[in-house]
């Protein structure tokens, strides 16, 4: 089955909802769901939380633990994701478009909670279905636009109105994968579509809350500032990026050739089309690493390039001996974004399966130091002197630093996690989901579940199940 074209799909609203102009399209989608076998793994993607249980889980629910939990384990685990795929006869057609369902597992009080965020069709979506993050002591559900929702960590109820980042800094959208320094400072990246120099990628700093001499308390957003701006290489078509990397001294953005057409974005908003319908793959373009110095916000002059690839998730990055080491989960191109329509998931093809295969890769970027001048190096000379890596980087005839990676694993991997205490530092372990069997860490598979990103805890191996009304939650932890 080929990917449906824009003309074949129902019209979108500004937040990605497909509004069926005819009931036929909706009925066809529902019929496919009903015809899909219960043990088909692809049905999991189509499952809507308000249909998967006899009684929708909203509010606090007590659960029964099956297995052992370490005595030291105590706290709350927050998860967010697109869990509602239809509202009445109106269906979403893309995996990323479902309405947000925020849930919380409280180990200490043996509780489970979930909330459903209703739709807001005005402007860019505030359907915060991607991630959660603490800004100081305030918990926010996030998506990839300029809007966030503050929620109460105790009961998951929304607190006040939505938070619009644009009210504090000049960005039009931001990622849902910020980084948090040990002192509580949050860093994120966001695009500015309009400006004197055209579109820019911006690093945003959110300090911890601060009490002024007058006694007034400033929250993180009231202190937010743009600490660096990176000009886009494609005018009026900034790239899409889902995450970025950070080290002790640098920010690293992967500028990949999946562009967001600003003119299309503006027109599509009024035509009721989706954000994705403003995205274009730029053929034959190189992927670039844009490196920013944290001390002064300056973009490094070195033009780091690589053969075309696409990434959603950065694994980690660190500095070593005059090099930047950047680890990512990489796709060969951006086809994955245009393949994960729900119709494709119900009828997967070889093209669909291939598009979903991400490989963990390492790139090594040589820094310009007193003993290694990358800007004046002899073309073709390998500038990577780091021990223990097969990565190379050489200056080409145009002055760009051409970087060649090495695969960290022969297996596909996505949803990476690390021990966050090693974020931006040299590390040894990363964790992710690999669709294969026979690994030395063991495997776990059920056809009725789909894994969220893993959570790394300094613990010994243990596993337990949480039995709730109408369904079970399995939690597996390894050291």
Residue 23, helix vs strand vs coil = helix
d(CA 243, CA 257): 15
**Which range is most confident: 121-125, 166-170, 409-413?**
166-170
Q: Structural domain boundaries of the chain?
A: 11-477
Q: Mark residue 311 as left, alpha or beta (left: phi above 0; alpha: psi -120 to 50; beta: remaining).
A: beta
pLDDT, position 457: 52
* Mean pLDDT for the chain overall: 76
Reply yes or no on whether the pLDDT at 473 is more than 50: no
DSSP secondary structure letters along 242-272: S--EE-SSEEEEEE-SEEE-HHHHHHHHHHT
Contact (Cβ atoms closer than 8 angstroms) between residue 465 and residue 475: yes
- Range of lowest pLDDT (127-141, 339-353, 379-393): 339-353
**Predicted confidence band of residue 426 (pLDDT cuts 50, 70, 90):** very high
| pLDDT at position 1 | 34
Whole-Å CA distances, 356 to 220, 327, 352, 378: 37, 18, 7, 38
Q: What pLDDT score was predicted for residue 48?
A: 54
- 242 assigned binding-site residue: yes
In the block, which residue shows the tokens 């004197």? Answer: 196
Average pLDDT over residues 293-303: 96
Do strands 76-84 and 99-106 pair parallel, antiparallel, or not at all (unpaired)?
A: antiparallel
Q: Is 177 annotated as a binding residue?
A: yes
Residue 105, pLDDT score: 65
pTM (2 d.p.): 0.72
DSSP at 317: E
Q: Is 411 annotated as a binding residue?
A: no
What residues have CB less than 8 Å from 67, skipping those under 6 apart?
462, 463, 464, 465
The 10 Å Cβ neighbour count of residue 426 is 11
């Amino acid at each position: 089955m080929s990917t449906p074209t824009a003309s074949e799909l129902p019209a979108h609203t500004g937040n990605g909802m497909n509004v069926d102009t005819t009931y036929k399209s909706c009925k066809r989608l529902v019929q496919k769901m009903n015809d899909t076998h219960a043990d088909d793994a692809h049905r999991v993607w189509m499952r809507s939380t308000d249909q998967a249980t006899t009684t929708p889980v909203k509010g606090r629910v007590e659960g029964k633990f099956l297995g052992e939990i370490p005595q030291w384990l105590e706290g709350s685990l927050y998860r967010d994701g697109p869990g509602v795929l239809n509202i009445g006869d109106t269906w979403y057609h893309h995996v990323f478009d479902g309405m947000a369902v925020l849930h919380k597992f409280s180990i200490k009080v043996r509780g489970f909670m979930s909330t459903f965020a209703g739709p807001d069709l005005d402007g860019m979506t505030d359907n915060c279905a991607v991630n959660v993050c603490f800004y100081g002591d305030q918990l926010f559900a996030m998506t990839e636009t300029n809007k966030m929702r503050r929620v109460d960590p105790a009961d998951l109820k929304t607190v006040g109105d939505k938070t619009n980042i644009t009210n504090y800094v000049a960005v039009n959208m931001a990622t849902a994968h910020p980084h948090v320094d040990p002192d509580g400072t949050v860093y994120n990246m966001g695009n500015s579509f309009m400006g004197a120099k055209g579109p820019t990628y911006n690093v945003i700093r959110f300090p911890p809350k601060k009490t002024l001499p007058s006694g007034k308390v400033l929250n993180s957003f009231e202190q937010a500032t743009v600490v660096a701006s990176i000009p886009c290489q494609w005018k009026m078509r900034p790239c899409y990026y889902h995450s970025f990397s950070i080290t002790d001294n640098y920010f690293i953005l992967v500028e990949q050739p999946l562009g967001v057409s600003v003119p299309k974005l503006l027109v599509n908003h009024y035509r009721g089309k989706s954000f994705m319908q403003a995205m274009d793959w730029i053929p034959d373009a190189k992927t670039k690493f844009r490196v920013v110095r944290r001390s002064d916000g300056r973009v490094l002059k070195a033009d780091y390039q690589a053969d075309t690839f696409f990434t959603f998730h950065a694994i980690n990055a660190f500095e070593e001996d005059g090099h930047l080491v950047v680890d990512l989960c990489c796709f060969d191109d951006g086809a994955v974004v245009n393949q994960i329509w729900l119709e494709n998931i119900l009828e997967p093809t070889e093209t669909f399966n291939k598009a979903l295969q991400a490989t963990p890769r390492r790139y090594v970027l040589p820094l310009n130091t007193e003993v290694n001048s990358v800007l004046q190096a002899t073309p073709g000379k390998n500038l990577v002197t780091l021990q223990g890596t097969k990565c190379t980087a050489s200056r080409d005839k145009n002055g760009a630093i051409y970087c060649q990676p090495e695969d960290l694993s022969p297996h596909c991997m996505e949803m990476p996690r690390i021990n966050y205490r090693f974020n931006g530092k040299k590390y040894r372990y990363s964790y992710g989901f690999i669709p294969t069997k026979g690994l030395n860490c063991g495997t776990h598979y059920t056809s009725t579940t789909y894994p969220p990103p893993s959570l790394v805890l300094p613990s010994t191996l243990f596993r337990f199940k949480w039995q709730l009304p109408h369904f079970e939650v399995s939690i597996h932890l390894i050291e």
